[in-house]
Structure 1
Amino acid sequence: MSDDLFARIMDAHWAIRPQVAVTPLSYSPDLSKLTGCEVYLKCEHLQHTGSFKFRGAWNKVRLLDAAAREAGILAVSSGNHGQGVALAGKLAEVPVTVFTTTAASPVKLDAIRALGATVVTIDDASLAVELEAARQAQLTGMTFVSPYNDIDVIAGQGTIGMELDGQARERGLDLSAVFVSVGGGGLISGVGTVLRKLRPSTAVTGCWPANSTALYRCLKAGRIVESEELDTISDGTAGGIDPDTITFGISQQVITDTALVTEEEIRVAMKRIAQTDGWMVEGAAGVALATLLRKAPKYQGRAVAVVLCGRNISLEKFIGAVK
């Protein structure tokens, strides 16, 4: 799987341009001073639609044949993936329907609708909604686009790793660790595959909110298990995972370190980056930064990177989180 996935990522890295933006790898002087590390931020919150999800969505859509494009796409999302798929569908003139839970962020759902997609809300747990979306896609002949359990989506997310590696090489950086937030595992599967191939000495750190640890619990158990999900400010990583997700096996191969961070640590990280770098990021991005803040003593004087995966949070929710 790793060699095949890496080849797909390399193909996607060039093929998704110019629709997908190359995001900056930004040095943070203040975070570096605070942590004692040389901190670089991979700014996926500056990607189109405000998160990395557009990468995987566009890579999936560009690979659809004419019949699949005509039939349309059905996605499931708490918000960011839905926005990415909606924009990809709009650019490719492919109809998009997004299934989501009633608990999803209204800000994110409004953004999906603004991009022309149809939104269907279901009052059920996220995994149940995901399974129903996949069933409906089969019934209607639409292409189901999972936020994580899709090799083409994962390949699109992996292009972050290609950019990160290239940008680090341009600066002569020997990255000791890269911190990546984990929900269904699509992001870390893609980024981790690249790093294990091109930078085998770099630690690939999977970062979870302690309140939502579905894939983490599976990795610890060595098999897919059920996990209790609690409310978290990191709504972008929340929810269960598909029982047959390919990200489980990939994550077993590429993740070299893990961490669970508390809601308070996430909120502190969100506030900190607003103070140091002037960016308002969502909870999922705060999870990765919170993990760096906790693990900084391990990487004193060394270069590390944090993937800031998204910025899609309402002003009211952000203020409530950091006050």
Structure 2
Amino acid sequence: MSSPLPVIAITMGDGAGIGPEVVVGALADPAVYDRCRPLVVGDARRLRQAADVQGVAVEVVALESVAQARFEPGRVDVVDLGLLPDDLPWGQLSPAAGEAAYQYVRVASELAVSGEVQAICTAPLNKEALHAAGHLYPGHTELLAALTGTEEVSMMLSTPKVKVIHVTTHIGLIDAIAKIEPGLVERTVRRGHEAMRASGIEAPVIGVCGINPHAGENGLFGAGEEEEKIEPALETLRADGIDARGPLPADTAFFLAGRGDYDLIVAMYHDQGHGPVKVLGIEAGVNITVGLPVIRTSVDHGTAFDIAGTGKAEVGSMIEALRQAADLAPVSVG
């Protein structure tokens, strides 16, 4: 007898952006239901509007609880919070949409922590709208950490060619360099190592970027940051049997990972990791939060207000995010 498929809570994101469109577009693909049992947390009325925009024939069914879901192709089960105004315009900043996006994530987190769902997959929210609603988080990663009481998490970006985990993310570059220290580097690599093993790679090879050009070139560039902040962590990790190599020049590390030399790259700061990943595969990119008590994946694109409500949104990243969430999720017990 096969194991039950995991239930994945899909948060609708900012209702004024392309989140509703990519959600219904992805769930119009019957193959999604072969991998997981998808459950949207959002606004049923907005999803019906998005289905019309996308030109997809699905039945959007408003629910009050997970127990009412049927998880059938052609049917979109929605825990309907009903928070959006009827006349919410597409593509415009809205504090109401920011508040609703926060509540979708809050409810999904509660469902995950209670075990009613096995993973969370998030559509994009708009940070400015989130802040306008009074929720001052840099993004999903920090919001989910706060909602689940998690002290430290890491952002991982995954594409078919390269996977990257970040030591620091949404802080300024000067602040990021100040924050990097051996303990943080070590914990980040360990989280990445565990995530790679969970995805089926028994002995992952991990490449760790330096901070300076050419990883400092033996002291030629910088003030010894690699020796002070990174190398002690790598020594500890290797002593524990983790294959962590570096510090590597970032300008070649991603090329080497793309050809298969590394299973995971550790980036020291936001743009060091995000730039190469988005060149290599933003259309199929997935954002994974590593270190939470629940699995969380996300599309690797924003709310795209410029095309929201036009039917031009691509759904491939959402389908890939659901696939990876299903692959990483623990087996459902019900």
Fold conserved between structures, TM > 0.5: no
Instruction: Compute the TM-score of the two structures, normalised by the length of structure 2.
Output: 0.29
Say which structure, 1 or 2, has more relative contact order (CA 8 Å, 6+ apart). 2
Task: Tell me which structure has the larger Cα radius of gyration.
Answer: 2
TM-score (norm 1): 0.30
Q: Tell me which protein shows more helix as a share of its residues.
A: 1
